[in-house]
């Protein structure tokens, strides 16, 4: 159940941080390695808190870790209430 509209650069960022392992990143932000695997593969969109922690580990802005493509986001807009 990958989310196409939310992409991430965690694999690239790990590479540029001396090939930081998934386990080391997981330990750093307080999650399991399995969670990092799921986030990296786009199978799980993390909470804002975890997203900020990841950005903090790589010392970059959140937008450098996660990118959002609105054109691919299929969500149902709420209809405005009739007055």
The CB-of-52 to other proteins minimum distance in angstroms stands at 13
Q: Is 2 in the site for other proteins (CB under 8 A)?
A: yes
Please tell me whether residue 74 adopts helix, strand or coil conformation.
coil
Q: Does 67 bind other proteins (CB under 8 A)?
A: no
How many residues touch other proteins (CB under 8 A)? Answer: 16
Positions in 21-50 near other proteins (CB under 8 A): 30-32, 34-35, 38, 41-47, 50
Closest CA to 38 of 52, 19, 25: 25
Minimum distance between the CB of residue 42 and other proteins, rounded to whole angstroms? 8
CA atoms within 13 A on the CB side of 82: 0
Distance separating alpha carbons of residues 83 and 29, to the nearest angstrom: 47
């209809």: which residue's tokens?
79
Binding-site ranges for other proteins (CB under 8 A)? 1-2, 30-32, 34-35, 38, 41-47, 50
């Amino acid at each position: 159940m990958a989310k196409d509209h939310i992409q991430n650069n965690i694999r690239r960022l790990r590479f540029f941080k001396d090939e930081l392992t998934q386990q080391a990143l997981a330990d750093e932000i307080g999650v399991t390695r399995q969670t990092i695997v799921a986030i990296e593969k786009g199978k799980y969109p993390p909470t804002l808190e975890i997203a900020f922690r990841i950005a903090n580990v790589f010392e970059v802005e959140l937008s450098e870790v996660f990118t959002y493509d609105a054109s691919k986001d299929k969500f149902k807009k709420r209809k405005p209430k009739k007055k």
